[in-house]
Amino acid sequence: MSRRFQLACYVAGQVGQAYVQRARERNLTVASALRQLVIADLYGRPDPVEARQNMLFQTIALDGLLEAHPDPELRPRLLRIWRERIAEEGLGHAA
């Protein structure tokens, strides 16, 4: 029979409340969110430079596909929707 190992920690009240809220926003329990953090720490996260390079490639590729699409309004429409969503979520100015 395999036993589970329990991890626990204490944090300031505001940190705990913020973590609970963030877990709920992600539709996770606090335990599940913490488990994901531990696993990511143990097995590594993507290199931020590599992740940025991959995102840039995907963005350029998607832009090229949108530009080549037979519907000439598709790219401008998606850019408009993206800008609106960025503004709605308060993520700053979208170029």
pLDDT at 91: 76
pLDDT at 56: 95
Assessment of whether the complete model's pTM goes beyond 0.75: no
Question: Assign residue 76 a region: left if phi > 0, alpha if psi is -120 to 50, beta otherwise?
Answer: alpha
C-alpha 24: how far from chain center: 15
One-letter amino acid for residue 44 of the chain? G
pLDDT at 20: 95
Residue 90: HSE in the Cβ half-sphere, 13 Å Cα cutoff: 0
In the chain, where does DSSP find H-type helix? 13-25, 30-43, 48-68, 74-88
Contact 63, 71 (CB under 8 A): no
Question: What mean pLDDT, rounded, does the chain reach?
Answer: 89
Q: Using one digit for the tens of pLDDT, what is the confidence trace for 32-73?
A: 999 988 888 888 877 788 889 999 999 999 999 999 999 999
Asked if the model's pLDDT at residue 1 lies above 80, the reply is no
- pLDDT class of 93 with cuts at 50, 70, 90: low
